């Protein structure tokens, strides 16, 4: 479904991604594990196309020079320099870290805004899916997003991405800063999202909550791939256990 080969991303002379290659097959949940500054968010920005917008803005204002190299294919189509909006139309949707939402709009308004590229019927069906996955959001649909708790905002951010009708959902550290109970709830929701026919690529620093639900994983350090394997291979690797499972 998604094949990224030899990705290189430079911010001026700083190398953020270094010859990184990953693959996501249809129907999988795949994890990218790494510490802070490992390159996880840069990878997600590259896959979603946000890096293209960042590069254009910096080029216009003469700011930081961003260089992107490599190849990126989604369902056989090359899209390394395709606009983010075009990727969304093709089914690649990013749920960013730290749950960005429209804080002054209520939950229902946030979800409806996310359906601007879809028909009214599609949007309604996707919102029903969001409420099925996150029943608490249905109870809070009239509440302003800025008044939600951190966990509720994270659910809403994922819901916004789901309303855009992804074939491949990119989730950048969705469990960051949440309590162990909420982490477990969101891990279960990610599994349910896959059961709805949506392929998932998720990044995390701490692998323990998501390890039981993933099919495969990649470990990234300093923008480089250092290990890859199945869920079992990750769980049995001593270095992965020490660094990302707390064992």
Tell me the pLDDT tens digit for each residue of 15-54: 999 999 999 999 999 999 998 889 999 999 999 999 999 9
Task: Give the per-residue pLDDT at 206.
Answer: 86
Indicate whether 221 belongs to any domain: yes
- For the chain, the farthest-separated pair of C-alpha atoms sits apart, in whole angstroms, at 50
Indicate whether 210 belongs to any domain: yes
Indicate whether 102 belongs to any domain: yes
Task: Give the per-residue pLDDT at 246.
Answer: 66
Indicate whether 69 belongs to any domain: no
Indicate whether 15 belongs to any domain: no
Indicate whether 2 belongs to any domain: no
Is 13 in a helix, a strand, or coil?
coil
Task: Give the per-residue pLDDT at 119.
Answer: 80
Task: Give the per-residue pLDDT at 39.
Answer: 94
Task: Give the per-residue pLDDT at 79.
Answer: 95
Indicate whether 126 belongs to any domain: yes
Indicate which CATH number applies to the domain containing 238: 3.40.50.300
Cα–Cα distance, 204 to 34 (Å, whole number): 7
Give CA separation, 36 vs 6, 52, 223, in Å.
21, 22, 11
Task: Give the per-residue pLDDT at 118.
Answer: 76
DSSP 145-163: GGGS-HHHHHHHHHHHHHH
Range of the domain at 231: 24-48+83-244
Task: Give the per-residue pLDDT at 98.
Answer: 67
Under-70 pLDDT residues of the chain: 98-99, 246-247
Give the count of domains, the chain: 1
Task: Give the per-residue pLDDT at 142.
Answer: 95
Cα–Cα distance, 224 to 107 (Å, whole number): 38
* Tokens matching residue 209: 């909550």
Cα–Cα distance, 29 to 230 (Å, whole number): 11
């Amino acid at each position: 479904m998604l094949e990224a080969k030899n990705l290189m991303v430079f911010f001026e002379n700083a190398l953020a991604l270094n010859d990184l290659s990953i693959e996501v097959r249809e129907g999988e949940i795949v994890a990218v594990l790494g510490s802070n500054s490992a390159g996880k968010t840069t990878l997600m920005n590259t896959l979603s196309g946000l890096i293209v917008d960042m590069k254009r803005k910096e080029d216009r204002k003469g700011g930081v020079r961003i260089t992107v190299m490599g190849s990126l294919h989604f369902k056989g189509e090359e899209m390394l320099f395709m606009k983010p909006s075009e990727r969304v139309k093709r089914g690649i949707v990013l749920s960013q870290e730290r749950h960005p939402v429209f804080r002054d709009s209520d939950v229902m308004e946030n979800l409806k805004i996310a359906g601007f590229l879809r028909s009214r019927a599609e949007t309604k069906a996707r919102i029903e899916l969001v409420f099925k996955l996150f029943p608490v959001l249905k109870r809070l649909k009239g509440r302003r997003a800025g008044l939600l708790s951190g966990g509720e905002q994270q659910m809403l951010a994922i819901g916004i991405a789901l309303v855009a009708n992804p074939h491949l959902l990119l989730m950048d550290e969705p469990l960051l800063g949440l309590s162990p109970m909420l982490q477990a709830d969101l891990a279960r929701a990610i599994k349910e999202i896959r059961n709805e026919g949506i392929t998932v690529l998720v990044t995390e620093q701490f692998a323990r909550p998501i390890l039981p639900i993933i099919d495969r994983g990649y470990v990234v350090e300093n923008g480089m791939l250092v290990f890859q394997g199945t869920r079992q291979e990750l769980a049995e690797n001593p270095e992965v256990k020490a660094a990302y499972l707390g064992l």
